Amino acid sequence: MAKIIVVTSGKGGVGKTTTSASIGTGLAQRGHKTVIIDFDVGLRNLDLIMGCERRVVYDFVNVINGESNLKQTLIKDKRVDNLYILPASQTRDKDALTQEGVEKVLDELSEDFDFIVCDSPAGIERGAQMALYFADMAIVVTNPEVSSVRDSDRILGILQSKSRKAEKGEVVEEKLLVTRYNPERVEEGEMLSVEDVKEILAIELLGVIPESEAVLKASNQGSPVILDDESNSGKAYSDAVGRLFGEEIEHRFLEVEKKGFFKRLMGA
């Protein structure tokens, strides 16, 4: 039985796909057989972030429609063992993902995988609801900014009322992941602090990913940022994966880095 994790946010552009790619990669690095599914029908992007865009032959909707089987469709990652990607379809048909179809594919994947990471599209429409419906756990990706926090709260409301677990009277585990965090701007009072976001959303903090050029660089290269273990963002994602397994890891990169005497001397 696989554990189904949805990466969701409501708002677009906050880092859902980046997070899905890195968390999925991190789970696989720890030896757990993991598949990341792109639920963003019509706007496929996980393939680019994972660097396998030229290896896409079939997609999620093909599998649902029985036009291909999982073995033909899953793309095996070339860097990390145990890691697979199921790309989204580029169809413009909004109803391509049916609940029965998604359930059938998830059930089949469940037999073989330890983790299924569902990369949700933005918004609260059908695609996003489909991505979160079967979730055991939700990673709510939030930027420290008012509209993102508000949208995250709406998504939490949907998780608590419209997910399969909610319908069965159970609860989806909810985890907060704050991304694009910039301690300088928090100190200037221009950005909400992680404490503020945590207090308003009132869910457990899984991690804080600092804003970093490394994320853009990783996207450009098609390599999940968690594999860049020199970068703060990569380290923060590794920490977050560790916390998923109950490891007690202190949150890093929350404070402004104090410039040392030497750096100040050099004017850096």
Partner 1 sequence: MAKERLQIIVAHERNKREQPEYIEKMQQEILAVIRKYVEIDDEQVKVNLDNNDECSILELNVTLPE
| Residues in 162-201 that interact with partner 1 by CB under 8 A | 192, 196, 200
Query: In terms of CB distance, is 55 or 198 closer to partner 1?
Result: 198
Calpha distance 201→140 (Å, rounded): 10
Pick the stretch among 66-74, 90-98, 100-108, 145-153 that binds partner 1 (CB under 8 A): 145-153
266: CB partners within 8 A, 6+ apart? none
Provide the minimum distance between the beta carbon of 116 and partner 1 in the complex, in angstroms, as a whole number: 28
| Residues in 65-94 that interact with partner 1 by CB under 8 A | none
19: CB partners within 8 A, 6+ apart? 7, 139, 141, 177, 179, 209, 237
Calpha distance 261→99 (Å, rounded): 59
Q: Does 146 contact partner 1 by CB under 8 A? A: yes
Calpha distance 44→23 (Å, rounded): 18
Exposure string (b/e) for 150-180, b if CB count within 10 Å is 16 or more?
ebbbebbebbeeebbbeeeeeebbbbbbbbb
Among 12, 13, 31, 157, binds partner 1 (CB under 8 A): 157
DSSP letters for 161-219: HHSHHHHTT---EEEEEEEEE-HHHHHTTSS--HHHHHHHH-SEEEEEEEP-HHHHHHH
60, containing H or E segment: helix 60-64
Calpha distance 8→104 (Å, rounded): 21
Pick the stretch among 34-42, 96-104, 122-130, 153-161 that binds partner 1 (CB under 8 A): 153-161
Provide the minimum distance between the beta carbon of 167 and partner 1 in the complex, in angstroms, as a whole number: 16
Pick the stretch among 91-99, 154-162, 174-182, 255-263 that binds partner 1 (CB under 8 A): 154-162
Among 46, 50, 61, 149, binds partner 1 (CB under 8 A): 149
Pick the stretch among 33-41, 82-90, 143-151, 233-241 that binds partner 1 (CB under 8 A): 143-151
36, containing H or E segment: strand 34-38
> Which amino acid, 183?
P
Provide the minimum distance between the beta carbon of 253 and partner 1 in the complex, in angstroms, as a whole number: 21
Query: In terms of CB distance, is 202 or 216 closer to partner 1?
Result: 202
Among 154, 252, 259, 263, binds partner 1 (CB under 8 A): 154
Query: In terms of CB distance, is 126 or 150 closer to partner 1?
Result: 150
Give the number of residues in contact with partner 1, rule: CB under 8 A. Answer: 10
Q: Give, in degrees to the nearest 5, the angle at Cα 24 between 1 and 100.
A: 50
Provide the minimum distance between the beta carbon of 136 and partner 1 in the complex, in angstroms, as a whole number: 22
Q: Does 249 contact partner 1 by CB under 8 A? A: no
Query: In terms of CB distance, is 43 or 202 closer to partner 1?
Result: 202
In the complex, the residues that contact partner 1 under the rule CB under 8 A are 146, 149-150, 153-154, 157, 161, 192, 196, 200
